[in-house]
Amino acid sequence: MADVYSLDSYEPRQALGHLIGRVRAQLLAAIDTELMKDDFLGPLEVTSSQLIVIVSLAGRECATSASELCKGMSYDAGAMTRMLDRLEAKGLVRRSRSPEDRRLVNLELTSAGQAAYPRLREISMRVLNRSLRDFTREEALLLESLLQRLARNVGH
Amino acid sequence: MADVYSLDSYEPRQALGHLIGRVRAQLLAAIDTELMKDDFLGPLEVTSSQLIVIVSLAGRECATSASELCKGMSYDAGAMTRMLDRLEAKGLVRRSRSPEDRRLVNLELTSAGQAAYPRLREISMRVLNRSLRDFTREEALLLESLLQRLARNVGH
DNA sequence: TGACAATGATTGTCATGGCAGTTATTGTTT
DNA sequence: AAACAATAACTGCCATGACAATCATTGTCA
């Protein structure tokens, strides 16, 4: 298949790469704005980056290890350590060494973390729905599938 | 129009927000990988973030101020100062106080910066074309237009 | 069993980007 | 002209993410 962009016409500042970066930044900023307005999450200064960790932990009943979290979201292990430091300091997550394998750190939400989860889910959904307000369900699915194809291709 | 996501089915980890973040990270990583392999850009450790600044400066013949650059790409002024520190240290960009308005800092590419530009443009285009290799031109344009609609909506 | 590899978490270092506050310069207003 | 607002660049502070190095623990293999 022919290349989409050619040296004659390629404009780095208008092309897909930048556009994706802009959309991502705007989405995160919009979610952060809504989080700050929340009675419960605002004072805790929960951010859009911390959202995904709490959501991932809420999805399972049993305790999960940090490395398992990292694999599941292709996240740097060092970044995860410090992310968990912040979430633990806010009282949303509890760490404990696994008795079976003392290299592992088991993670679970505290009661505050469990209380935060439905609010985080609702807020992120609201921002997405608002951003997709003139999209049909088919257009949204199309966008998702195009992005998934892109994601599969990038790594070659 | 009805909401795309509903509380019943919304899965934060699968939805659009996360997907966009993943695609962006993968694209930037792929560009960084190619930049490191380049004979000229690799030793200078030019990154995908610095790419857009150099590209923006190459687009105009006359000197541009830093604030104008920030406006054009909705970029934080403080981040721009430090970005320019790094680019100046690498000898790619030259700063000079504007004689007309001494608040302004005029920017221009050095000869090394001008030599870097076509390589940066070619590398970012190659990564994008590779990532879009099974897309028709129509599909790529569709993806762009859907993202642009999304970008317009997010800010409300 | 003892050497060694593999794994998980942590830490250090760096680039990035956002926000608030500061300083220098310019424009405006009385 | 003096006071004030507006603007541009810079600085400090912080969260984020990537990479490399280190340490403790576990698995493997001679």
Q: A99 burial class (0-12, 13-18, 19+ CB within 10 angstroms)?
A: exposed
pLDDT at B147 over 70: yes
* pLDDT score at B64: 87
Distances (CA, A) of A12 to A54, B99, B119: 36, 31, 12
Neighbours of A134 (CB within 10 A): 11
- Is residue A3's beta carbon less than 7 angstroms from any atom in nucleic acid strand D? no
Q: Give pLDDT < 50 ranges for chain A.
A: none
pLDDT, tens digit (0-9, with 9 covering 90-100), for A77-120: 999 999 999 999 999 999 999 999 999 999 999 999 999 999 99
| Mean pLDDT score, B19-32 | 94
- Is residue A76's beta carbon less than 7 angstroms from any atom in nucleic acid strand D? yes
Q: B79 burial class (0-12, 13-18, 19+ CB within 10 angstroms)?
A: exposed
Distance of alpha carbon A140 from alpha carbon A93, whole angstroms:
33
pLDDT at B145 over 70: yes
* pLDDT score at B61: 67
* B52 closest-nt by C1' vs CA: C16
Q: Could you tell me the pTM of the whole model?
A: 0.92
- Residue B54 in contact with residue B117, Cβ under 8 Å? yes
Interatomic separation, CA of residue A103 and C1' of nucleotide C6, rounded (Å):
12
Distance of alpha carbon B131 from alpha carbon B135, whole angstroms:
9
> What are the residues facing B107 on neighbouring strands?
B64, B95
For B128, which of A7, A15, A23 is closest by C-beta distance?
A: A15
Footprint of strand C on the protein (CB under 7 A): A 25, 29, 65-68, 70, 77-78, 80-82, 84-85, 95, 101, 103-105; B 47, 49-50, 75-79, 82-83, 86, 101-103
A13: closest chain B residue by CA: B52
